[in-house]
Amino acid sequence: MEVKPGYKQTEVGVIPEEWGVKPLSSIAQLKNGYAFKSRTYSALGCFNVVTIANVQDGFMDVAECNKIDGIPRDIQPHHRLELGDVLISMTGNVGRVCRVTTANCLLNQRVGKLVPSSVDASFLFLMLGQRRFLTAMAGKAKGGAQGNLSVSDITDFLFPLPPTKAEQEAIAEALSDADALIESLGQLVAKKRQLKQGAMQELLTGKKRLPWFEVKPGYKQTEVGVIPEDWEVKPLGALATLYQPITISAKQFAEAGFPVYGANGVVGFYSKSNHDTWQVTVTCRGSTCGTVNRTADRCWITGNAMVLNCEHNKSLSKEFFYHLLCNQDLSDCITGTGQPQIVRSPLAAFSVPLPPTKAEQTAIAAILSDMDAEIAALETKVAKARQLKQGMMQELLTGRIRLI
């Protein structure tokens, strides 16, 4: 490949002439964690013990941190974590990198802390966040199902490095701006989801009637809660036909064709379809039992999902029926212990509240569908922003684009 003037070919690819190639060990020290004993954990402890489970791909998950009451006497200074410290998982999902985002944290064994010596911590985190590094670490993991990385596996890895701290900081700032955009869009998605959840609770229970419908005085107590007097309570079996279609084996799947829906969405493709229009389904086997899904048109639905086909019911809005089911807790319909499952009878007997007219059902469905469309559009923006950031990382961290 032709190397443009001002660039050079190296073992990590083409980089600017003034950039260097250095192993991680020359720019940061890797410190391992302390061997905490599980018997010392306390649910009400004031110190968080950060394990490999808390190191996710690019972020720190503190929701399930183990806790201890006090610090062991033989703990070393590097076992105490500060905000912004860079961590890497050395067992399991190896090579994942995050930064410490909460106070009072202690480092557990098989989680490495990278202490920068000649680079900025933010730039170090960005370097380690490249897919090239994560892929290489996954390839180096040894030890069977629960892979392990050695210190040298990590610290021998080579990185291209800008010559000045000013250029490193400029790259880190540009990518941090991209992160800020992604985070703000993510927060907006979360807010919209909360708003939709609140709207579902109000509209699908009749607590808030849409203003263009007559509000008749009075509510009534029913087996599904308090609903408007003119609403009905009906079992699902009276609203839809419930059935489990024929299951096909994975050997029958094709590279293209009609999507095949199993317990957890699309599981493959098949040359034939058993439904011409989209259907409402409920997962009826496995850990996600009771999850409500919506298929595409022209698809094959397997017996791992229960179809609730309401197309024959001319007094029921299909869109409303889907949103209504999404707002139900179907856990009471689940049977079995080793392998949870839902069979037809308890699901058919499950009762739901229903507005008296298809017009009101359609209006409610339109509101919720519009909210779904808005959330989907925002999620697309988040995905595009993440793709743009990955492209920026590839260009900036290899010197293809220079900021100074």
Q: Is residue 274 part of a domain?
A: yes
- pLDDT of 87 reads 96
Based on the domain organization, do 240 and 93 belong to the same domain? no
- pLDDT of 226 reads 86
Based on the domain organization, do 283 and 390 belong to the same domain? no
Q: What CATH number is given to the structural domain containing 107?
A: 3.90.220.20
Q: Which domain holds residue 207?
A: 165-216+356-404
Based on the domain organization, do 105 and 211 belong to the same domain? no
The 3-state secondary structure of 231-267 reads: CEEEEHHHHCEEECCCCCCHHHCECCCEEEEECCEEE
> Is 161 in contact with 120 (CB distance < 8 Å)?
no
Based on the domain organization, do 112 and 203 belong to the same domain? no
**Which 8-state DSSP code applies to residue 91?**
B
- DSSP assignment of 250-314, as one string? GGG-BSSSEEEEETTEEEEEES--SBSS--EEEE-BSTTTT-EEE--SSBEE-TTEEEEE-TT-T
Based on the domain organization, do 363 and 317 belong to the same domain? no
> Is 90 in contact with 52 (CB distance < 8 Å)?
yes
Q: What CATH number is given to the structural domain containing 212?
A: 1.10.287.1120
Based on the domain organization, do 300 and 319 belong to the same domain? yes
Based on the domain organization, do 285 and 203 belong to the same domain? no
- pLDDT of 154 reads 96
Based on the domain organization, do 113 and 182 belong to the same domain? no
- DSSP assignment of 322-343, as one string? HHHHHT---GGGEE-SSS-EE-
- pLDDT of 264 reads 82
* End-of-domain residue from the set 334, 354, 374: 354
Q: Is residue 221 part of a domain?
A: no
- pLDDT of 275 reads 96
Residuewise pLDDT in 10s, the chain (404 residues): 578 899 999 999 999 999 999 999 999 999 999 999 888 888 778 899 999 999 998 889 887 788 998 888 899 999 999 999 999 999 999 999 999 999 999 999 999 999 999 888 899 999 998 889 999 999 999 987 788 999 999 999 999 999 998 999 999 999 989 989 999 999 999 999 999 999 998 999 887 776 656 556 788 888 888 889 999 999 999 999 999 999 898 899 999 999 999 988 899 999 999 999 999 999 998 888 999 999 999 999 999 999 999 999 999 999 999 999 999 999 999 987 678 899 999 999 999 999 999 999 999 999 999 999 999 999 999 999 999 998 999 899 999 889 88
- pLDDT of 216 reads 64
Supply the pTM of this predicted model: 0.74
- pLDDT of 210 reads 67
> Is 52 in contact with 93 (CB distance < 8 Å)?
yes
Based on the domain organization, do 369 and 346 belong to the same domain? no
- Say how many domains are in the chain: 3
- pLDDT of 215 reads 58
Q: Is residue 375 part of a domain?
A: yes
